[in-house]
Structure 1
């Protein structure tokens, strides 16, 4: 009877333990990251005589953890909330310096008054690896957002440009339109002034071509009586500026010879033609098309500067690229002289791909007698070299802005192809980029699946400032449970292994989300009924044992 009584009492104690676990589970059914605990029962023996005879010792009960049971992950509006999908725990500590590390599945982290991320409602702080200039620290520290409140300015070091220069600009830089209204069959005279801008550096004979195209069924008749829909004339000017001949290229006959003129004189070529009302004629405009683009770069203080670059058609497959200083800075040429501008000759291959650049002289000579020229970067491209008036570090020498405008024989930067547009001839900028930024202030924080804490700033920069590890153990269920949903390492759990989220056996991190409790209330109520029945049965054993003992005492008396 003593054994029966002892077994029954142990049963009551075991079922009390089970009921306690059930109660704790139900109490934490809404606790973030909580893992439901089950009860394991183990039989006890006080004496074993043989395989068929033993003295019962009752039962013992113990709580069984399921630390890695996956709870439902629900999105929240808090960007610092985190949930682990898969195996692993977060690392937390109670010390802002070098304290002991604990572990939790609860990812409800808030920011305290000094910018530290802490487990909401507790004194545990989230730990991670700080990242500076893309390199992560090798030691854990408390994740602090406020320490990265400011994103410092970065001076521009590279500038990449992708653009198409119109091939038509070499021979067709514009249109001169003649619009007339007259009675049909009336013969009239048309006149135009053709102007060539710029100057030639060497003496010689220059030939210009002028094309006149008919429209709306117009018939054009030149001075020799030859009619057609198009007339092409070649005008030759010698080195002294005299027009020596005007040749009708369509009939290859000389139509007239004009007297010598000086470069400042205007010459008129009169053509007679028959036309219909409201007709127009166009001529090709020669070399000289020019267009200016602005590029923005940043100095060491984060101040932006607009640098003007003018591109001018300079002949077959050649363009002049002229860089002009901004009002808040002065350009510096290859020998260190301050200049207002410097130029490069940009060349293209016959297939429209980029060929290369040639640095042109600036006309400045330093004290050593070295002639200055437009600076060339170490990669062979143009360079923006300047001194700023705002006190920023000079953008010169190794700090100059290196421009990438293409690889020789490729169209990965500048190109020269005909435009498909029917609008005016223009340089088309496809894309441009530069690596400088102004100072920015923190605007938001997000956490990636790999555990990267990414800070976004008002200057458009997004920078990884911390990496949150996912910690795994050989036996997570062997961890020692503590208050606040926190666990500590034990001999049974094995040592902590710090992993990058998503690598190996570790789970990934979902930012702006929380993991729900794994408690199933339906299951817990069912377990409660079973526990109640077992407890009642143990109570009945005690009652029966008592009656049997009473009967024995009465028999003895």
Structure 2
């Protein structure tokens, strides 16, 4: 009968609004929870099929909850470099275990990025979810895959060895005096005819010499000398590049440590004439375990060094700096080299592309991981898990992992956290509406009870 269905409708209203009250309460309680996504209660009418020739039967209402995963929370600054937020779409990939995780341990997705190292250096947030990423190997491509979770590794920021970088590029700027008196011995300078008689060996005295310090493959400091002697030919100078001391390198028939030699020529207005200069711009030094034969040269056998290629930049007509020949005294203007001595890990930073970079005390940086951002066709279809995490479900669709700022994925923001998406003003308004609706539903129950009581009284 209709009174009974009205009673049931009032009861369903009480039940639905009680559920909505729980959702609102949870939202308010998590107003300050990092990465929290508010939930919303949606009410759906349960209408029974009606017959126009019979009395109306109430169907009631049911409440369903939906997590607003797509909503972006405000980004708040943090002092920790491993605190991460996402500006845009995507979620961090995590697991509840790090080094001892097995295939049976599931993957979880979260926006709660308050990651900090645990006792073993693995990054985990306050809910105990460990951050996972693609490992970066400088010699191999990153093993990315949109759905392959097996290539991910737990992000660990401890036990990272120190780093050094061998010198690759040398830039040398100097002025060679145009009015330099020609050394009488310059007329006999001929490395092709007499390869062991050079400025490097001390048989010829250079008119100008300067040294630069470079780094070998182990971060050790090596010294190169740049020697110049004016040629009897106008606007030309003999040039040599050699190692000091010569014992740092070894080569058959080349005891003076000479790496490169040639002529540097200048135009009549004092600029370097590269077209007529023969000093090599590339210098190859073999590894210490290689067999060096003249004219090749390698690091000394006992040094244990890798092969090294040096790119020598001495300028040119269109390049600022470099070698010049003006009528002022010989002078070194500037010499710069790249490479770094050995340095230990000083900090870890994450860039907008999701690369986890290890920074060393010598100024070097090295990417060790790249963080994928997980996306789903239906983010609202994810299953809600404890600690502000989510897991995949049939409703969420296929997982798609993307690099940050690619394919619609958001950017990773270091030293930031995503705030809760809860709007307290809206939640308190919803609280008032829910309270009124609950009270109204209770009136349905009491009214239906009174009507049934009247019906029972008819029998009396």
- TM-score above 0.5, yes or no: yes
| Residue of structure 2 in register with 1:216 after alignment | none
Secondary structure of the residue aligned to 2:441 is: helix
User: 1:408 Cα deviation (Å)?
Assistant: 7.3
Residue 201 (structure 1) aligns with: 187
> Are the structure 2 counterparts of residues 160 and 57 from structure 1 closer, same or farther at C-alpha, using a change threshold of 3 Å?
same
Structure 1 residues 116, 12: CA separation in 2 closer, same or farther (over 3 Å shift)? same
Equivalent-residue separation in structure 1 for 2:381 and 2:53 (angstroms): 33
| 1:271-320 C-alpha deviation (Å, 9 max, x unpaired) | xxxxxxxxxxxxxxxxx983332222223332111222233333522223
Residue 396 of structure 2 is matched in structure 1 by 493
Match for residue 410 of structure 2?
Answer: 507
Does 2:23 match 1:119? no
**Structure 1 residue aligned with 2:324, among 413, 416, 427?**
416
The alpha-carbon distance between structure 1 residues 196 and 102, as it changes in their structure 2 partners (threshold 3 A), is closer
Q: 2:173 aligns with which of 137, 158, 163?
A: 163
**Which one of 80, 104, 114 corresponds to residue 110 of structure 2?**
104
Task: Tell me what 1:524 maps to.
Answer: 427
CA apart distance, 1:350 = 3.9
Alignment match of 2:152 (pick from 128, 137, 140): 140
What SS is found at the alignment partner of 1:524?
helix
TM-superposition CA deviations, 1:159-182 (whole Å, max 9, x none): 33242434xx121x5xxxxxxxxx
Q: State the Cα distance separating 1:453 from its structure 2 match.
A: 0.9
Deviation at 1:487, TM superposition (A): 0.4
What root-mean-square deviation, in Å, do the aligned CA atoms of Structure 1 and Structure 2 show? 3.0
Structure 1 equivalent of residue 337 of structure 2: 433
Query: What is the aligned partner in structure 1 of residue 236 from structure 2?
Result: 318
In structure 2, distance between residues paired with 1:51 and 1:524: 43
Give CA-to-partner distance per residue, 1:20-77, whole Å, 9 cap, x none. 0010001100100001111100000233325997522100001111102111101100
Alignment partner of 2:216 out of 283, 296, 299: 299
1:520 Cα shift? Answer: 1.0
Check whether the contact 2:173–2:315 (CA below 8 A) recurs between aligned residues.
no
C-alpha deviation, 1:540, in angstroms = 0.9
* 1:447 partnered with 2:350: yes
**Matched positions, count:** 418
Q: Which runs of 5+ in 2 are unaligned?
A: 145-150, 189-204, 286-294
Shift of 1:111: 0.6
Q: Secondary structure at the match of 1:32?
A: coil
Which is further off, 25-34 or 501-510?
501-510
* Cα offset, 1:390, TM superposition: 6.1
C-alpha separation in 1, matches of 2:355 and 2:249: 41
Name which one, 1 or 2, has greater alpha-carbon Rg: 1
Alignment of 1:4-153 (within 5 A): 4-49=6-51, 54-96=56-98, 97=101, 98=103, 99-122=105-128, 124-133=129-138, 135-138=141-144, 139-147=151-159, 149-153=160-164
Query: For the Cα contact (< 8 Å) 1:384–1:400, is it kept in 2?
Result: no
Give CA-to-partner distance per residue, 1:253-288, whole Å, 9 cap, x none: xxxxxxxxxxxxxxxxxxxxxxxxxxxxxxxxxxx9
TM-score, normalised relative to structure 2: 0.82
Flag the 1:536–1:424 CA change in 2: closer, same or farther, 3 A.
same
Gap change, CA 1:477 and 1:46, over 3 Å in 2: same
Q: Residue in 1 aligned with 2:247?
A: 329
Is 1:391 matched up with 2:391?
no
Residue in 2 that maps onto 1:345: 263
Residue pair 1:84, 1:105 contacting (<8 A) in 2 also: yes
Q: Is the 8 A contact 2:210 2:225 kept in 1?
A: yes
Matches within 5 A, 1:215-234: none
What SS does structure 2 have at the residue aligned with 1:22? helix
| Contact residue 38 and residue 64 of structure 1 kept, 8 A | yes
How far apart are the structure 2 equivalents of 1:19 and 1:328? 83
1:315-349: CA deviation from partner (whole Å, max 9, x where unpaired): 5222232334324834445x553225574332234
**Whole-angstrom distance in 2 between the partners of 1:160 and 1:93:** 47
